[in-house]
Amino acid sequence: MNHRKTLFKCLLASLGAAFCLAVSAQDIQSRSFKLATANPEGHPGVVGAHKFAELVAAKSGGKLKVNLFPGSVLGGDAQVISAMQGGTIDFVLVNSGIFSSQVREAGIYDFPFLFANAEEADAVVDGPVGQAIHKKFEDKDMVGLAYWELGFRNITNNRRPIEKVEDIAGLKLRVIPSPINLDWVRALDGNPTPLAWPEVYAALEQRAVDGQENPITNIHANRIYEVQRYLVLTRHVYNPQSLAMSKRIWDKLSADEQRILQEAAQEATGFQRQYQRDSEDAALAELKQAGMQVTELSEAEQQKLRELMQPVIAKHADVVGTETVDALQAELKRLRGG
């Protein structure tokens, strides 16, 4: 029931005046939830999920328990999102752009070179644009609770070091299964290969694909360095991750239970983002120590990469919706003092 249970206790003061003290009892039932993510144990996303579970338990007096299922043990992203919509999984932590299959506006998070830095990304996703996108989740039986950080994506491969944009041509690169990811690889004359994340390690190991692209902490946590030799720091896309809940489950909760989950998600957000950022330098050092050869594009090559991405961005602006694109660009202009 979505109401507060209030116990009224009337006391008689020594002067004969009567007054009532309202003592609130929170409306919390004992509940157990499932949280699914592709991130493995040790990944900043899972560290954040543990923090979220800890906060939920503390705020509910132990009545609400969040059980974690990392490493795609409950299925790939598409499977767990569908299960969440159906109410058989309670929470998912998924790359926000992957939700574009349900909410087209979420596809903007796969736009190349959208954010100059993480601080810009925080301001946008926590502001009106990001919150409006999460609000649209509700029409698809989902509740967007928070944006956590996956990070800036970089390219790995097993064929050659990438020192100029032309070195990407001909590489068979695994991408997240979405149209914009196919298009930006094609714009670089690469061969995009969409694969669900649980299939990627084996595909790299068996040389079914030449490479893939992901944030540094993902490459490290998923041991991609075992099956890839070359890494180029392109930082071509910034990905937030959405912590989302089944609306079918959410609507069954009391107002107190909903408040606890919202508060815990927001408190865990700052912790998770900082942990992710603190982890990146150490993860990169360990990738180098593990034998990965790391290169960076010159400023001229980086600019060439940006220019090649512009037609892709223009094409997908119509897909995502010009209202969302215009609102985000206006917010970035404001943040940059333009």
Whether residue 20 is predicted with pLDDT greater than 60 in this model: the reply is no
For residue 167, CA distances in Å to 191, 288, 295 come to: 13, 21, 12
pTM flag (> 0.85): yes
- Give 11's pLDDT tier (boundaries 50, 70, 90): very low
Angle in degrees, CA 333, 336, 338, rounded to 5: 55
Mean pLDDT of 101-115: 96
For the chain, domain boundaries: 22-335
Q: How far is CA 271 from the centre of its chain?
A: 14
Whether residue 22 is predicted with pLDDT greater than 70 in this model: the reply is no
What DSSP letter does each residue of 79-147 carry, written as one string?
A: HHHHHHHHTSS-EEEEEGGGGGGT-GGGGGGG-TT--SSHHHHHHHHHSHHHHHHHHHGGGGTEEEEEE
Question: Residues of the chain with pLDDT > 70: what percent?
Answer: 93
Residue 103, amino acid: V
Q: Tokens for 102?
A: 């349900």
What DSSP letter does each residue of 165-186 carry, written as one string?
A: GGGGTT-EEEE-SSHHHHHHHH
Q: In this structure, are residues 204 and 228 in contact, taking their beta carbons and an 8 Å threshold?
A: yes
How far apart, in Å, do the first and last CA atoms of the chain sit?
49
Tell me what pLDDT residue 15 has.
35
> What CATH number does the domain located at 22-335 have?
3.40.190.170
Q: Note the pLDDT tens digit of each residue in 132-185.
A: 999 999 999 999 999 999 999 999 999 999 999 999 999 999 999 999 999 999
Which of 9-13, 81-85, 215-219 is the least confident region?
9-13
Q: Note the pLDDT tens digit of each residue in 216-271.
A: 999 999 999 999 999 999 999 999 999 999 999 999 999 999 999 999 999 999 99
Tell me what pLDDT residue 16 has.
40
Q: Note the pLDDT tens digit of each residue in 269-313.
A: 999 999 999 999 999 999 999 999 999 999 999 999 999 999 999
Tell me what pLDDT residue 26 has.
84
Q: How far is CA 298 from the centre of its chain?
A: 29
Mean pLDDT of 129-133: 98
Whether residue 82 is predicted with pLDDT greater than 60 in this model: the reply is yes
